Structure 1
């Protein structure tokens, strides 16, 4: 459960930063205490459905967009997904992907 709270909090952070809002601004516009909002964003506190809707409205996204989080994947899952992505590329895209990955991992 705490893993889910941390992923939801990280999603809040991403959306809040995209709007260049402070935690205090989101909390005020959502009608909650800024300390509590900070705890939620860090994954340290659970949040009610009512507050999820309020924060979604504040951030200008639907509830489904707000909760658009992916479960953590292990190394094997990531590798399999990466291979699948590469299998469905053109030769030029594959060469570009290779160069990008090579440069990132150097």
Structure 2
């Protein structure tokens, strides 16, 4: 099988284990045969879009979460690093960081008399 098939399977296995699910539990949650899930995780089977959707719904993850670390883009700048770090945080944490940045920028502008 193609390298991408193995990578997707490994990522599915990692997410399943991280969620604390056995193959049988994921099978129940996603309505997919547990043996088939094992074949997918080993990279022996290609997934259809429909099956992929069932799996991510069963694990309560998004497509973005599934593919996030599959083939990471090269970090080219600080903003990219910040975006990557924030994408793994909760919406509440993201809001706090945004407020901190705004406060810091306001302070900087006042310090330099730009208000």
The normalised TM-score by structure 2 is: 0.58
Count of matched residue pairs: 77
Report the aligned-residue RMSD: 2.4
Q: Which residue is equivalent to 2:51?
A: 51
Separation of aligned partners in 1, 2:15 and 2:46: 18
Long gaps (5+) in structure 2? 78-115
Q: Which residue is equivalent to 2:66?
A: 66
Q: Deviations over 1:38-78 (max 9, x none)?
A: 00011110011011111111111111211224339xxxx9x
Please tell me whether Structure 1 or Structure 2 has the larger radius of gyration of its CA atoms. Answer: 2
Q: Which residue is equivalent to 2:38?
A: 38
The normalised TM-score by structure 1 is: 0.62
Separation of aligned partners in 2, 1:13 and 1:43: 10
Long gaps (5+) in structure 1? 85-106
